[in-house]
A and B are shown apart, each in its own frame.
Chain A
Amino acid sequence: MTKVLIKGNEAIAEAAIQAGCKMFFGYPITPSTEIVEYLSKHLPKAGGTVLQGEDEVASIYMCYGAAATGTRVMTATSSPGFSLKQEGLSYLAANELPVVVVNVNRAGPGLGGLGPAQSDYFQCTKGGGHGDYRLIVLAPSKSQELYDFTMEAFDLADKYRTPVLLLADGFLGQMMEPVEIKKRIIADLPPKDWITDGCRGREKRKIASYALSNEAGEATCLKLQTKYEQIKEKEQRWEEYKAEDAEYLLVGYGTCGRIAKSVVLNARRQGIKLGLIRPITLWPFPEKAFASYKDKIKGIVTVELNAGQMIDDVKLAVECRMPVHLYSRQGGMMPGENEIFNFTAQVFDWSVAEEAITDGKNI
């Protein structure tokens, strides 16, 4: 097993090549730019095409065109650019076109800042564009997961004929870590018998999402929702860390999930039964992860790089049966493990020795 030291954004780009992505349409934006740069250098050597669009809107619609021909295609951006892609994402979802989209979340709103953030959670998990649709949202917390989840995103997109979003943050995108460059395992996927690639030898096909009759419109909506229900049932993913016997839980995804592990370790050293649930799919939100905990946990703290967005989904998942608190940093700031620990100790009234609180690098 060989590992290479690689930047998070480059891990995403390399995974796309290995996954058989042949088309990339993008537009530079910090902190995701290394993705388009890496692919510009390496995708043509793998028989693919990189085209820098005139804007983010063009890029997502170029993806739309490529996906309609059955080609594996990806685009990558960062928060303000992700906003611009929302119209296209709605069309992709409506027309059931498989496209992998990467959002390396930076601070917002507005032009915001270049630091890491999770402030696009609502936009990513609740639809984002117009109409009733969802994206499958994968939330990696280390470079290897950036690689693995990107590869898998292509299969999920093809399996469900839906756009799939890889949601990272500026910290993950810029960080260097060793990554094992795995080869693609060819999955058993449905045939692409719907593509528009010229009708030679077959009936003509069309890809469109317009219905003048309300009855037809509702049928299309119900078809999408049936698919989303299947995804909810089959694709919820999460990681548990020392949660089995826990009395309290931290919940955090991505970078926050990683920091929270150190907080759990610190708490355990002091005899406090703290555990972690790290959502990996943000949509579908891993409600199942909370099923066995909602009657035995005394309280939860969500750790988020926003003003409190995922906390709503956590409260729904535990049916508000216990106090759920938020520890939040915003605008590009990252919490230290000590501040999370102190906050958690305070809200749950733990009596802990002052000297036991450290800000070590345990994970």
Chain B
Amino acid sequence: MEKIFKRTTGLSSVPFHYCPGCTHGIIHRLIGEVMEELGITEDTIGIAPVGCAGFCLDLFSCDFIGAAHGRAQAVATGVKRSLPEKMVFTYQGDGDIAAIGTAHAVHVAARGEKITSIMVNNAVFGMTGGQMAPTTLAGQVTTTSPYGRDCSTSGRPIDLPKIIATIDGAAYVAAVAVDCPKNIFAAKKAIKRAFQVQQLGLGFSFVSVLSTCPTNWGLSPVDSLKWLQQNMLPVYQMGELKVPEEVKSL
């Protein structure tokens, strides 16, 4: 019998280690499929973050480098400047890229660095056990905001794609979610366009993906998806924030 759906060649055979219901797995698959469809897996170097996705360097089929917390985009810059013909992407959580790595996030965009960054936003620091992140919603309970995020002392959530979209060197910026099949298709399209922007050398490309963290949110996988839809989607600006003409027709 013909197999009509199989594991993408962009992913390795290493089993995922993520918690049940975590959407990292979906996002990994989308990136793997995009690399396979573009035929770039063997010409791509990925940069892993510190956090739950720190082990993703074993999960993809391409070469991978583990960075320090927040530094993936600086490492990616060094790789891309050395190998301008190769594809380079970073895979980072919101705590990684929007807190400790913010300076690099702004400056890779300012330089129009020809890399792709994928930010997975689950509104908490997942790996360390669900602490408040810059993306934590107002009133959201985490282990370091046990009474709910108090905006008068901890500020309001950062919407990083909106910031990055204001920077000239950012060629492509999109904010997507992986809460339902329709949005997953849109997320894949955005990730593909981000890689195509890099292939065309148009500048920095950035995709933020709203994601779930059932373990640290204390919700079932299904309830987590609902929580994302009800609480995160209204807060964060969604859709393609910046699209260069060159990829619109692709």
- Secondary structure of the B contact surface, majority rule: helix
Interface centre among A58, A59, A205 (most CB of B within 10 A): A58
**Structural contact, B63 and A49, CB atoms closer than 8 A:** no
Report how far A212 CA is from B54 CA in the complex, Å.
11
**Structural contact, B81 and A199, CB atoms closer than 8 A:** no
B interface bracket (residues with beta carbon within 8 Å of A): 35 or more
**Structural contact, A51 and B66, CB atoms closer than 8 A:** no
How distant is A317 from chain B, measured CB to nearest CB, in Å? 35
- Whose C-beta in chain A lies nearest to the C-beta of B17? A212
- How many CB-defined contacts (below 8 Å) exist between A and B? 131
A209 at the interface (CB under 8 A from B): yes
For B57, the chain A residues whose CB sits under 8 A away are 206, 208
A330 at the interface (CB under 8 A from B): no
How distant is A358 from chain B, measured CB to nearest CB, in Å? 52
Binding site for B on A (CB under 8 A): 22-23, 25, 49, 51, 53-55, 57-59, 61-69, 71, 73, 87-88, 91, 95, 196-201, 204-210
Kindly supply a per-residue 1/0 record for chain B positions 50-64, scoring 1 wherever the CB is within 8 Å of any chain A CB and 0 otherwise: 000011011011111
For B81, the chain A residues whose CB sits under 8 A away are 23, 49, 51, 62, 65-66
A197-B86 contact given A62-B78, A206-B57, CB 8 Å threshold: yes
**Structural contact, A68 and B12, CB atoms closer than 8 A:** no
How distant is A162 from chain B, measured CB to nearest CB, in Å? 17
- Known A58-B71, A62-B74, A206-B63; further 7 A-B contacts with Cβ < 8 A: A61-B71, A64-B78, A65-B65, A68-B78, A207-B64, A208-B57, A210-B66
Report how far A198 CA is from B104 CA in the complex, Å.
24
Report how far A57 CA is from B104 CA in the complex, Å.
9
**Which residues of B61-101 have CB atoms within 8 Å of chain A's CB atoms?**
61-68, 71, 74-83, 86
A71-B43 contact given A91-B68, A206-B57, CB 8 Å threshold: no
How distant is A131 from chain B, measured CB to nearest CB, in Å? 12
For A73, the chain B residues whose CB sits under 8 A away are 78, 82
For A95, the chain B residues whose CB sits under 8 A away are 66
Interface centre among A53, A64, A209 (most CB of B within 10 A): A64
